[in-house]
Amino acid sequence: MSSTPTPELAAIAPRDKAEILAQALPYIRKFHGKTIVIKYGGNAMTDPALQADFAEDVVLLKLVGMKPIVVHGGGPQIDDALAKIGKKGTFIQGMRVTDEETMEVVEWVLGGEVQQDIVGLINAAGGKAVGLTGRDGAMIRARKLKMLDKDDPSKEHDIGQVGEIESIDPSVVQALQDDQFIPVISPIGFGERNESYNINADLVASKLATVLRAEKLMLLTNTTGVLDKAGKLLTNLSARQIDELFADGTISGGMLPKIAGALDAAKSGVNAVHIIDGRVPHVMLLEVLTDGAFGTMIRSH
């Protein structure tokens, strides 16, 4: 971690810095020893300054006694890699069609390049990160996703090696957490015939948070959070209110799978799910260690 303070930090008087740290204390105490699952994606994953902020936040949360776990996506990086081999990504109803060749690319981009970049960032910030895919420790068992046509449910689309989660065995993650490591997980699962499956990273993060009975699930996005029909940020929602927003069409498009997974986690015992704006510097520290709202919090009840 850089020892040179940023200009903004250098301008803060020592007394004020002490006050800021003191205000964080109740939150540090409250979440000490608790698991926090972070879905890392969007601008926070591609902007170098935000990447550094993210890594510092994860390391700081670990150092003050929390147990962060990072689950990452990598759609744009997969598209770049496919373009290099002259292949264009195809999507049906927002889901990437993943044939055998595409799956190979997905595995080496997510489980290789992207994962190791994140591991390197966290290690450079003073942490000890370890990269895993769902194959490691037989963590994520998956089966082929059956995707029904949204207009004609009797019709099914074949989108190749895209999976849905059958079960998660978190023992490898727990062993690493207990040993001072920060797990960084690529959303790749395996099937009963040892085939690989590409799985939506939001769903992996949500399911992992549920299985680990995490205190918090944080989904970093390129939006300010869940907005109402007038475009106003909804900072605090119950599971019931989210169901209503689905029903009246307020939540639609790309937010649907994200919120569906988040809602599932909230209903299954994860205390708080936060959909936060990854474009805000140090947004995770602000969310965990202050009482400000930096996105939408979904409560289980």
Tens-digit pLDDT profile for residues 168-202: 999 999 999 888 999 999 999 999 999 999 999 99
Q: How far apart are the first and last CA of the chain?
A: 39
Q: What percent of the chain has pLDDT over 70?
A: 95
Q: CA-CA-CA-CA torsion for 162, 54, 267, 200, nearest 10 degrees?
A: -10
Summary count for the chain: helices (H), strands (E): 11, 16
- Between CA 236 and CA 274 the distance in angstroms is 9
Tens digit of each residue's pLDDT (9 = 90 or more) over 14-35: 887 788 788 889 999 999 999 9
Residue 290: which residues within 8 A CB-CB, separation 6 or more?
Answer: 23, 24, 27
Annotated binding site for substrate: 74-75, 96, 198
Average of per-residue pLDDT across 217-223: 90
Binding-site positions = 74-75, 96, 198
Q: Within 5-47, where are the H helices? A: 7-10, 14-31
Give the C-alpha separation, 292 to 301, whole Å: 21
pLDDT for res 195:
95
Q: Report the alpha-carbon distance of residue 99 to residue 73 in Å, rounded.
A: 18
Cα distances (angstroms) measured from residue 126 to each of 2, 64, 115: 10, 13, 17
Mean pLDDT of 135-159: 91
What does DSSP say about strands 182-186 and 67-72: parallel, antiparallel, or unpaired? parallel
Name the one residue in this structure whose structure tokens are 């170098």.
Answer: 48
CA distance 53 to 207: 26
Q: What is the pTM of this model?
A: 0.90
β-sheet bridge partners, residue 130: 183
Q: Among the ranges 18-22, 250-254, 273-277, which has the highest mean pLDDT value?
A: 273-277
**Domain 32-299 adopts which CATH fold?**
Carbamate kinase (3.40.1160)
Burial class (CB in 10 A: 0-12, 13-18, 19+), 283: buried
How far apart CA 43 and CA 223 sit, in angstroms, is: 10
